[in-house]
Amino acid sequence: MAPKCHRVAVLGAGVGGLVSIKSCLEEGMDVTAYESRPLVGGVWSGMKDKWNAKGPTMYNSLVSNTSKSMTCFSDFPCPASYPPFLPHYLFQEYLVKYAEHFQLLEHIKFNTRVIKVSKTEDHDSTGRWRLKLKTCSPETATDQPQRGTEDVDEWEEEFDAVIAATGFYSEAKSPEIPGLSTSFTGTVSNACSFTDASPFQGKTVLVVGSANSATDIAVEVSNVAKQVYLSVGDGMCLAGRFNPSNGLPNDLQLKRAIHAWFQPELATRILSWVLHKRINHRMFGLLYTGAELPVVASDELQARIMSGKIKIVGHLREFKGHEVTTVDGRVLAAVDNVINATGYKRDLSVLDKSLGLDQEELNLFKQVFPIYEKHNTLALVGCIRVNGPMPPTIELQSRLAAYTFSGRHKLPPFEVMKVDSDRWKAMARRSDGSYRYSFLSIMVYEELATEIGVAPHFWQLFFSGKPRLALKSLLGPAFPFNYRLIGPGAWEGAESAMDNALEENKQALCNRTLPKEPQLRETLNLPASIKVLMMVSICLCLYVYFM
């Protein structure tokens, strides 16, 4: 099948860029990606984008919040030797392996910055796009442009379609709190410039934010600081990375059945209830009082709160000198440093202004295609947040884009796309009228997979002679491999990858040889008669209690 769009440009060579290149190549398209850094990985490369001083970077202690088996791409499992949760340098290594395995590097132009994406003169009839490009000086790739190292070339190219895969995390936000920029006499920095805790030795530090970065930074700084305050605003929902009862990653409890059986609102409420049963959020001062469900993965925050190394405070009212006053009247004295970790703004300013993508409110079909465009030749990949692993979400978005560009998949009529867009906006709209495009990951997976025909159907698998696979796909962990079982892009190794994932997580943890039979400390090892007596006693107690 000849592709409808022959020549495709991809903006960025991070997670979204790499899977977009691969998806387009699989559809027979001529694809070129442009990356301002000299290597793949985007923010995971650990290299600061010299053109974006306010963009994110890696701090030395960063570890993925989701497990390797749930975070990897659907047809390229992480190596068995990798630990369940990857330090940032291992995830970068994984991305390099992915790019090399699928021969993506030859399709990437490094040290090349996209200045502008605009419509061609004949766009109304062709849907084509013009890219204005600059070659960057590689010697300044980790720094801001310096005198004598300016861009050395500039040119334009035209493409049939464009995938913007630069992601959501473009420019760090700073909170607007009275006195922060005018009256506070300490030092103010942002999470985007944080690498390690050494500058905060013996200091009193206030970290502002209630997401993963804020929590990670507060925990790390508390190792060396005199005192750390963590301003969590409306609070957070704290989740550990692993299940203490079996030692496996907690996110393996995410099932496709959740989406099949529950509406998103109910699924979110159940998840919130589970998290609050695990940890007494009220006692720790973390109880979330807002409408969303901001899940934070941390196994250390509770211990730091219990030791007093971290003190939780709410919204901030005012900064004055070295003092900070909270909304509930508490005064934080002698604060030396403030670290803002309040998230990032998306930046799609390189795209044509007529698209309206510079607004907070996005009109997108499946959070990928602008619905008001006559030609579906522009796709956004990664402009979404999920409570769960991001790479599988981004991969499904890239497959939707590639299948649409190639003509394999036909998008629905405008009226249907508008209803879909309005539904996503309603879920993202907050009580103050702003938008937070953050959703339950399994819901996003299933919507995208269903749209492109790769969501495994229980009865279809069951009656095709694979009842075990049908049950495993529905009730087992929501591995990305599920979306390579059927449909376009199916991978013959998907089922075995699902089978191997649990065992690989176990094997990567233990580096000593242990006896296979259960040991005395692992079991009660009681005689059968005593076990029967205990069961009878429990039944009698329950009978007396309820009667």
C-alpha span between 383 and 334 (Å, rounded): 39
Mean pLDDT of the 483-499 span: 95
Which domains, ranges and CATH numbers included, belong to the chain? 7-170+345-501 (3.50.50.60), 174-342 (3.50.50.60)
- Packing angle, helices 391-406 and 15-26, rounded to 10: 30
The pairs formed by 456-460 with CB atoms below 8 angstroms and a separation of 24 or more are: 456/256, 456/482, 456/483, 456/485, 456/486, 457/486, 458/260, 460/486
Neighbours of 534 (CB within 10 A): 12
Specify the pLDDT at position 198: 94
Average pLDDT, the chain: 88
Lowest mean pLDDT segment, chosen from 14-28, 144-158, 169-183: 144-158
SS3 state at 528:
helix
Q: Are strands 171-172 and 344-345 parallel, antiparallel or unpaired?
A: antiparallel
pLDDT digits (tens, 9 = 90+) for 3-26: 688 999 999 999 999 999 999 999
pLDDT for residue 259: 73
- How far is Cα 340 from Cα 319, in angstroms, rounded to an integer? 14
Distance, in Å, from the CA atom of 199 to the CA atom of 154, rounded to the nearest integer, reads: 40
- Model confidence at 70, pLDDT cuts 50, 70, 90, reads very high
Average pLDDT in the 134-146 region?
A: 56
Q: What percent of the chain has pLDDT over 70?
A: 90
- Measured CA to CA, the distance from residue 200 to residue 337 in angstroms comes to 8
Give the residue-averaged pLDDT of 417-427.
Answer: 90
Q: Mind listing the pLDDT tens digit for each residue in 175-221?
A: 999 999 999 999 999 998 899 999 999 999 999 999 999 999 999 99
Do the Cβ atoms of 236 and 213 come closer than 8 Å?
no
**Concatenated DSSP letters for 454-478?**
-SPPHHHHHHTT-HHHHHHHHHSB-
For residue 45, give the DSSP letter. G
Q: Around Cβ 485, how many Cβ atoms within 10 Å?
A: 24
What pLDDT, on a 0 to 100 scale, did the predictor assign at position 146?
A: 34
- Phi first, then psi, for residue 102 (nearest 5°) are -95, 10
Residue 78 is classified by DSSP as P
Please give the pLDDT value at position 440.
82
- Residues 111 and 353: their CA atoms lie apart, in Å, by 25
pLDDT (tens digit per residue) in 351-397: 988 887 767 778 999 999 999 999 999 999 998 888 889 999 999 99
pLDDT at 516: 76
What are the contacts of 421-427 at 24+ separation with CB within 8 A?
A: 421/362, 421/363, 421/364, 421/365, 421/371, 424/364, 424/366, 424/367, 425/361, 425/362, 425/363, 427/264
Residue 332's pLDDT is 96
Note the pLDDT of residue 144.
39
Asked if 205 and 228 count as a contact pair (C-beta separation under 8 A), the reply is yes
**pLDDT bracket for residue 2 (50, 70, 90):** low
What's the pTM? 0.88
Q: Are 392 and 481 in contact (CB under 8 A)?
A: no
Q: Which long-range contacts (CB under 8 A, 24 or more apart) does 532-536 make?
A: none
What 8-state DSSP symbol labels residue 309? S
Residue 456 C-beta-side C-alpha neighbours within 13 Å: 32
Note the pLDDT tens digit of each residue in 103-135: 999 999 999 999 999 999 999 999 999 999 999
CA angle 439, 445, 448 (to 5 degrees): 105
Higher pLDDT, 530 or 309: 309
Question: Using CA atoms, how far apart are residues 300 and 52, in angstroms rounded to an integer?
Answer: 32
Per-residue b or e along 127-137, where b marks 16 or more CB atoms closer than 10 Å to that residue's CB: bbbbbebbebe
Are the beta carbons of 309 and 203 closer than 8 angstroms? no
Residues 467 and 528: their CA atoms lie apart, in Å, by 36
How high is the pLDDT of residue 526?
Answer: 63
- Angle at alpha carbon of residue 387, lines to 373 and 35, rounded to 5°: 55
Residue pLDDT, tens place only, 436-475: 777 888 889 999 999 999 999 999 899 888 999 999 999 9
Q: What percent of the chain has pLDDT over 90?
A: 59
pLDDT for the residue numbered 438: 76
**Residue 269 — pLDDT band, cuts 50, 70, 90?**
confident
Does pLDDT of 292 surpass 80? no
- For strand 323-326 and strand 316-320, is the pairing parallel, antiparallel, or unpaired? antiparallel
